[in-house]
């Protein structure tokens, strides 16, 4: 455990050093040739007026004549950043820049970080609606619960572009992908599997809905939060009905056995635990894992410190252990999902996204691992081929659901996404090799 803690502190020190050196992770750079001042006559005035008139005839023309088709806004109010909590929009900018970097490197998506200073959920929705003409989609990020549920729901109803809250939908999608392969390894069926969702914030609320959309039975899902197991007779149900109706509705359709009590009762006999609770170690106890059914599956997803160290979970009998960290096997990280999802919705010029689209993305990701093992249930971020594959599955399913402005075969969308991502990678690698992007301080460029 000391080695694991020291490694975490080392990453913290490097992050501070490198962030101060580069002073930002992204920049805007032209994509069109400018050979002389005359070229501005068609890139800007007077020629650009014709483009504006064309778009004024039909707003959807903005997807064909401007960069809107490949641009998204990353919106946050900084109220729930990583494991830090409410640090404010300025502090959230560092995380949003990192998100933008991943979007571009892995998905060839132009993602603009937009931390906003708003006081209420309605103000957040108003800002997003006002920004809609500039983007082909919104990635919502690091928004406290239950505010995030209202914002996502309102934006999905009112916008003509996809709204995706990565802490909900991204985490749920990669979790489902990991569970698909984990259950293949232990030989259990979705409909017979008892899943404990430990923690009931944004991630696990969305995971509950996605699991049901993928064939898990609601009565076999047990949600346990800081007050214990969620069930219809719990004393805070009236309060939840008013303040968190999303959690209240799940109390009505999950936990068919009507279990009561705390984690000890929730874990007993369960097949799977997906934890999105407070950081550990020690949040999940070894004895709870020992009480589970054969071949326990533990997803301890708190960052940066998981609820239980993987070595301890295995000592307690866990067959498969996953965390949110890349320095352990089986990283359950949104970065495997969201670049491909947004590549897909942008290629389809999508108007929205739903749970069926997310299930398709999760299966595409899981199926990429041809022979899953206890140490490899999902791909890694280095296997870049997964991103065009997820993109094609998302674009095709979006079109099938009637949510797209463009249609095509899965093969067509795979070709489009692959070309986009490959071209972007070539440009980026060329900039690195020629020193246009400075090497890390203290290293020599190869």
Catalytic residue numbers read: 44, 99
Q: Which of 287, 336, 281, 341 is nearest to 311 (CA)?
A: 281
Determine the Cα–Cα distance for residues 211 and 309; give it in Å rounded to an integer.
Answer: 25
- For the chain, give the longest Cα–Cα distance: 74
Give the three-state DSSP class for 12: helix
Determine the Cα–Cα distance for residues 230 and 237; give it in Å rounded to an integer.
Answer: 9
Establish how many alpha carbons lie within 13 A of residue 136's alpha carbon, considering only the half-sphere containing its beta carbon: 27
Q: Which of 136, 182, 127, 150 is nearest to 366 (CA)?
A: 182
Q: How many CB atoms are located within 10 Å of the residue 196 CB? A: 27
Residues whose CB is less than 8 angstroms from the CB of residue 371 and which lie 6 or more positions away in sequence, other chains included: none
Convert 78-103 to b/e letters by CB count within 10 Å (16 or more is b): bbbbeeeeebebeebbbbbbbbbebb
Q: Please tell me what DSSP assigns to residue 134.
A: G
- 395: region left, alpha or beta (phi > 0 left; psi from -120 to 50 alpha): alpha
């Amino acid at each position: 455990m000391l080695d694991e803690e020291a490694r975490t502190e080392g990453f913290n020190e490097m992050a501070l050093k490198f962030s101060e050196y580069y002073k930002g992770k992204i920049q805007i750079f032209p994509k069109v040739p400018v050979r002389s001042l005359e070229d501005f006559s068609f890139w800007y005035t007077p020629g650009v007026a014709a483009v504006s008139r064309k778009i004024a005839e039909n707003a959807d023309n903005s997807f064909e004549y401007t960069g809107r088709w490949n641009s998204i806004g990353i919106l946050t109010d900084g109220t729930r950043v990583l494991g830090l909590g409410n640090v404010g929009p300025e502090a959230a900018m560092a995380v949003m820049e990192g998100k933008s970097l991943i979007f571009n490197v892995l998905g060839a998506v132009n993602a603009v970080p937009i931390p906003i200073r708003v006081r209420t959920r309605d103000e957040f929705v108003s800002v997003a609606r006002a920004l809609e003409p500039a983007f082909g989609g919104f990635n919502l990020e690091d928004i406290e619960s239950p505010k995030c549920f209202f914002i996502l729901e309102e934006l999905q109803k009112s916008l003509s572009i996809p709204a995706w809250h990565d802490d909900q939908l991204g985490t749920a999608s990669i979790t489902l992908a990991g569970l698909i392969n984990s259950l293949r390894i232990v030989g259990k069926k979705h409909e017979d599997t008892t899943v404990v969702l430990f923690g009931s914030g944004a991630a696990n609320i969305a995971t509950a809905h996605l699991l049901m959309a993928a064939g898990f039975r609601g009565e076999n899902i047990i949600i346990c939060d800081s007050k214990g197991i969620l069930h219809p007779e719990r004393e805070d149900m009236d309060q939840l009905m008013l303040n968190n109706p999303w959690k209240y509705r799940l109390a009505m359709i999950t936990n068919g056995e009507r279990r009561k009590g705390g984690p000890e009762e929730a874990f007993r006999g369960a097949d799977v635990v997906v934890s999105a609770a407070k950081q550990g170690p020690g949040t999940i106890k070894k004895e709870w894992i020992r009480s589970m059914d054969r071949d326990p599956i533990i997803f301890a997803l708190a960052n940066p410190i998981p609820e239980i160290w993987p070595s301890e979970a295995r000592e307690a009998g866990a067959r498969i252990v996953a965390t949110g960290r890349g320095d352990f096997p089986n990283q359950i990280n949104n970065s495997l999902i969201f670049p491909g999802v947004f590549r897909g919705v942008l290629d389809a010029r999508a108007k929205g996204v739903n749970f069926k689209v997310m299930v398709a993305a999760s299966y595409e990701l899981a199926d990429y691992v041809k022979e899953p093992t206890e140490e490899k249930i999902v791909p890694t971020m280095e296997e870049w081929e997964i991103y065009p594959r997820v993109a094609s599955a998302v674009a095709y399913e979006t079109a099938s659901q009637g949510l797209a402005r463009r249609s095509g075969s899965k093969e067509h969308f795979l070709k489009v996404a692959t070309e986009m991502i490959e071209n972007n990678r070539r440009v980026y690698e060329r900039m690195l090799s020629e020193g246009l992007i400075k090497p890390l301080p203290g290293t020599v460029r190869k």
